[in-house]
Amino acid sequence: MASVVGLDGCDRNAQTASAVRTPAATRASAAPATDRGHAASPDSTPPGEWHLPGRDLAGTHYSPLAQINASNVGRLKVAWSFSDGALYGHEGAPLVAGDTMYTVSPFPDKAYALDLSQPGAHVKWSFDPKTSPMAIGKACCDPVLRGWSYADGKIVYNLLDAHVVAVDAKTGKELWRTRMADVAKGVTMTMPAFVANGKVFVGNSGGELGVSGWVAALDLQTGKELWRAYSVGTDELVKIGPRFKPFYPQYRGKDLGVHTWPAGMAMQGAGAVWGFISYDPSTNLIYYGTSNPGPRVPAQRPGENLWSSAVFARDADTGEAVWAYQFTPHDQWDYDGVNEMVLLDLPIGGRMRKTLVHFDRNTYAYVLDRETGEVLKADTFAYQNWSTGFDYRTGRPIVDPKMQPKPEQKLERVCPPDIGQKDWQPPAFSPRTGLMYVGIFNICMDLTDHKVSYIAGTPYDGMEMKRYSADGKDGDWGAFIAWDPVAGKRVWSIPEKFMVMSGALATAGDIVFYGTTDGWFRAVDARNGKVLWQQKLSSGIVGQPMSYLGPDGRQYIAIASGVGGAAGVQSDREGYPPRGSTLYVFSIDGADVSTPKAAQP
């Protein structure tokens, strides 16, 4: 029997912004339990450094630094800034190893090493990979880059033109470069290269151009491709074999990556891998999501369209699939499944479970057993109307028939729209509060589908959308929320005029940082959502904040300002900012390495 959850995970009346647009939390949190959960694996990164896109292998975006707290966060000021000059969406987080910060621009994907031991953090070196400009025209949604990784003295990242490059972290010299695909056929790469256990894991973009989605592992030392697994196609291509034991029976069949598609359509069926990857060293499994099926017009591809809009657990050494689960079967609205997979051990049902937490575009916050793929919880975190609830027996959302689009017929007020009530922007988890902190949307769309034909390297799309606030013409488009993954509910919420497209940062000082599309960088109390500090930056914020300990022993907070990417769907709204390219670094009173020790906070 279906178990139906509420269609609206929030209090709509509580989402009215104050007259001066200075947000305050709309709901206070309860006191946390003794053990509300923790990351899946021990944190091996030095406390003051940041080596991976989400800082740790589990993707928590949590910093153990606590110098900055509620008593002094109001004194944050700019310590220094840096501009890379690239006027596209700045979606990544800088990394810090030792006394050096590493940042990479969006196209042309230029890397910089900044010396943190010197006032102003002068440039140690820069590396220009000479990315092909052809890639700009193939990128679906701005020529962005969502992150890079540091490991074994190397900075490793993807180029928009479908190459992966490793750069010597000390000298800036190219160590290796691997071509992964032909950009002329529509394959680009915007996801953050992820390093674990001596391997570089990467995936492709281009779901709107009918590419075949894949994830691949490269040798960290040489760049040699070790394995590649596709999202669609035969079991051999998808690397499904004897180890594949999915929890739900609908995934137990031969060559489902072909048979759940019309004849001949699977290999243009997308399932691109352009989001985040996480890794559990205890099981040696990586976890990642796949994109929408192609074309986006569902009438042209009857069937469940496996393995699009899904999550895979794979052996990191061999690429063998261990289990999979599809978030949105026969995805009719472009809901994807690429959003982050945060690996947490959580007290579910009275005992600690090994889980994977995922905020999907389809508006369900999933808690899955990361060993089996069983759905333990599926709760809506924002307003939606495409589904009437969730059937735990089958592991599927229950589709409202009225919300299914048909070619050449306008379907009004579908919620969420194609970009979901949350896109790729990663949340943060604090083991101190047991809460997750995430930027979300509050939007709907009018949708009209048009049948399309496949031509390699060109849009294979067919969706026409008009997006607007779920609350009407002048309503807010977003919010920043604290979410209890165990209870499956909001704890507090901050309304925002625009979609919140930045990632989040949680710290041991019980402060959470996030940015807004119109350029506000905010620090809030992790327990009750009270805004403790905010600073308007020169452009909108769609990047990921991070924190590090400088050579002077101070804690710093860094965020890139440079609006772009999917945030551009709001560009006609009053207050949408100009493009930018500036990295801001904050400290208490703006102190840096040149500030005398006696003046340290």
* Residue-wise pLDDT tens digits, 241-286: 999 999 999 999 999 999 999 999 998 999 999 999 999 999 999 9
In a domain, 76, yes or no: no
How confident is the model over 165-185, as pLDDT tens digits?
A: 999 999 999 999 999 999 999
Which residues fall in the annotated binding site for Ca(2+)? 208, 292, 334
Angle (CA) 176 181 182, round 5°: 115
CA distances from 129 to 29, 86, 153, 157, 219 (A): 47, 14, 18, 11, 20
Whether pLDDT at 237 is above 70: yes
pLDDT the model gives residue 6: 30
In a domain, 535, yes or no: no
In a domain, 446, yes or no: no
How confident is the model over 504-537, as pLDDT tens digits?
A: 999 999 999 999 999 999 999 999 999 999 999 9
How confident is the model over 84-132, as pLDDT tens digits?
A: 999 999 999 999 999 999 999 999 999 999 999 999 999 999 999 999 9
pLDDT the model gives residue 601: 52
* CATH for 201: 2.140.10.10
Q: Which of 594, 492, 480, 590 is nearest to 78 (CA)?
A: 590
Contact call for residues 83 and 584 (beta carbons, < 8 A): no
> What is the DSSP secondary-structure string of 113-163?
EEETTSTT--EEEEE-----THHHHH-SS-S-----EEETTEEEEEETTTE
pLDDT the model gives residue 5: 31
The percentage of residues in the chain with a pLDDT greater than 70, rounded to a whole number, is 94
Q: b/e map of 84-120 (b: 16 or more CB within 10 Å)? A: bebbbbbbbbbbbbebbbbbbbbbbbbbbbbbbebee
Whether pLDDT at 458 is above 80: yes
pLDDT the model gives residue 210: 85
pLDDT the model gives residue 56: 97
Q: What are phi and psi of 132, to 5 degrees?
A: -65, 130
Per-residue pLDDT averaged across 204-214, rounded? 91
pLDDT the model gives residue 74: 98
**Cα–Cα distance for residue pair 580/139, rounded to 1 Å:** 19
State which of 36-40, 188-192, 469-473 shows the largest mean pLDDT. 188-192
- Among residues 280, 331, 334, 510, which one is catalytic? 334
How confident is the model over 302-329, as pLDDT tens digits?
A: 999 999 999 999 999 999 999 999 999 9
Q: Which of 231, 237, 235 is nearest to 207 (CA)?
A: 231
- Give the residue numbers spanning the domain of 314: 182-405
Does 144 or 32 have the greater pLDDT score? 144
**Cα–Cα distance for residue pair 59/445, rounded to 1 Å:** 31
Whether pLDDT at 29 is above 90: no
**Cα–Cα distance for residue pair 123/87, rounded to 1 Å:** 20
Question: What is the CB neighbour count within 10 angstroms for residue 378?
Answer: 25
Whether pLDDT at 28 is above 90: no
In a domain, 459, yes or no: no
Whether pLDDT at 15 is above 50: no
391 belongs to the catalytic site: no
Which residues fall in the annotated binding site? 91, 146, 190, 208, 292, 334
Q: Please report which helix (H) or strand (E) contains residue 352, including its range.
A: strand 351-359
In a domain, 69, yes or no: no
Whether pLDDT at 8 is above 60: no
Whether pLDDT at 2 is above 50: no
Q: Exposed, middle or buried: residue 597 (CB in 10 Å: 0-12, 13-18, 19+)? A: exposed
Contact call for residues 558 and 516 (beta carbons, < 8 A): no
Which residues fall in the annotated binding site for pyrroloquinoline quinone? 91, 146, 190
Q: Which of 62, 82, 75, 188 is nearest to 135 (CA)?
A: 188
CA distances from 144 to 98, 316, 465 (A): 27, 26, 22
In a domain, 26, yes or no: no
In a domain, 352, yes or no: yes
**Cα–Cα distance for residue pair 86/77, rounded to 1 Å:** 24
Name the band, by pLDDT with cuts 50, 70 and 90, for residue 468: very high
In a domain, 271, yes or no: yes
Count how many domains the chain has: 1
Name the band, by pLDDT with cuts 50, 70 and 90, for residue 598: low
